Amino acid sequence: MAAGYDCDSRFIAAHYQPATLIDLALSRGIDSHSLLRGCELFYEDIARGQARISPRQFLTLIGNAERLLGAADSSFLFGQRLLPGHYGEASHALLHALDLQQALDHLCRFRAVLSPLLRPYLLCDDQQVHLYWLDSCGNGTQQRFVLEAGMTAVVSMARRLSGEPLPWRFHLAHPQPREVEQYWVHLGEQLRFDQPLNRMSLPREYLHRRWPHASSTAGGVAQQGGQAQLEALGWAASFLDQLHDHLREHIRTPLNLERVALAFGISPSSFKRRLQKHGTHFQEQLDLVRKHVAIHLYQTKGYTNEEVAAYLRFNDTTNFRRSFKRWTGLVPSSLRQLL
């Protein structure tokens, strides 16, 4: 298995998304030295277009910007500037996407360039398209800021490229903030807080509506260039992304830290330390995947409690219900009402 990037891997071009946040802060009178404190980076390094920073440095920058700006709209304004962006061929592929389906596919495929901190994960059912958002690097206290920016980026990009506002609905895992008006302004009023997962949804009919300024030829060339960007980086996904995919693929088999570490080609102790570096542990990641799979089975397959429990290899339904309540804070019957 090819190695994924870690929270301390220096691969993010500082003149891409970090510079977008820096310019937003500078436009509001924030001093660059204060903004970059603790980032192990100087503004001159960014201006030369050669600096590469790690997700951890980017998160430090985000924390500084959030504190110094002190405004409830900062994450949303940052998000409006993110996509398609000016990040080379991966951005060009987004700009020339034929429709929303292709744009979301590009966003997921080129996420190491377009969304290095937060993974967009696309799932569809018969009626809806769901874009889930997963923590790629151990975002910690910056998770809400990064999530707000990521969701706003997709809403803004889709509106710009389709030529119309789209009827997105949002499920957010954090409690409703006092400044909920910013969500109304930038995302709309179809909002639910304190949800089991972070996702944005849309009727499936919007996936294949041809966008007015799409270019299949330019887009095809840009996709090849975007793939070259990923190859130059040396990885297309984070370590946590890879772990999520591995656990999901093998969710119906016995899983423990030792077996998964072996699949990743490292010792259990090294695997455990790598997880700790990202502020997490194996059981937390396994429970997260089980939660995602269970909700997907309830929502798209209409499974009963007994069927979900059997699919996830629980010995009895009572034990499954207890675990589900621990994962989500809800009993399965309450979840079905939410869905």
pLDDT tens for each residue of 203-214: 999 999 999 989
CA distances for 247 relative to 57, 242, 253, 291, angstroms = 28, 9, 9, 12
For 55, residues 6+ apart whose C-beta sits below 8 A from its C-beta are 5, 6, 7, 8, 9, 12, 116, 117, 136, 137, 238
Average pLDDT of the residues of the chain? 95
Per-residue pLDDT of 182-203, as tens digits, reads: 999 999 999 999 999 999 999 9
Indicate the pairing of strand 128-135 with strand 199-203. antiparallel
Containing 282, the helix (H) or strand (E) segment is helix 282-296
Per-residue pLDDT of 78-127, as tens digits, reads: 999 999 999 999 999 999 999 999 999 999 999 999 999 999 999 998 89
Per-residue pLDDT of 272-325, as tens digits, reads: 999 999 999 999 999 999 999 999 998 888 889 999 999 999 988 999 999 999
Which residue, 226, 185, 232, is CA-closest to 102?
226
What mean pLDDT comes out for the span 235-239?
95
Count CA atoms closer than 13 A to 290's CA, side-chain side.
25
Report helix, strand or coil for 118.
strand
Record the tokens describing residue 172, joined without a space: 């957010």
Which residue, 22, 56, 28, 36, is CA-closest to 279?
56
Q: CA 184, CA 163: separation in Å to the nearest integer?
A: 20
Per-residue pLDDT of 246-268, as tens digits, reads: 999 999 999 999 999 999 999 99
For 50, residues 6+ apart whose C-beta sits below 8 A from its C-beta are none
Predicted pLDDT of residue 281:
97
Burial (Cβ within 10 Å: 0-12, 13-18, ≥19) of residue 224: exposed
User: Which of 9-23, 64-78, 215-229, 324-338 has the least mean pLDDT?
Assistant: 324-338
What mean pLDDT comes out for the span 3-18?
96
Instruction: Give start and end residues of each alpha helix (H) in 28-118.
Output: 32-35, 43-47, 55-69, 74-80, 89-95, 100-109, 111-114
pTM here? 0.95
Predicted pLDDT of residue 330:
83
Which residue, 31, 34, 28, 81, is CA-closest to 60?
34
Predicted pLDDT of residue 1:
47
Does the pLDDT of residue 339 top 80, yes or no? no
CA distances for 221 relative to 81, 121, 145, 213, 216, angstroms = 24, 24, 33, 16, 9
Q: Indicate left, alpha or beta for 170 from its phi (over 0: left) and psi (-120 to 50: alpha).
A: beta
For the chain, the straight-line distance linking the first and the last C-alpha, in angstroms and rounded, comes to 36
What mean pLDDT comes out for the span 4-26?
97
Predicted pLDDT of residue 301:
84
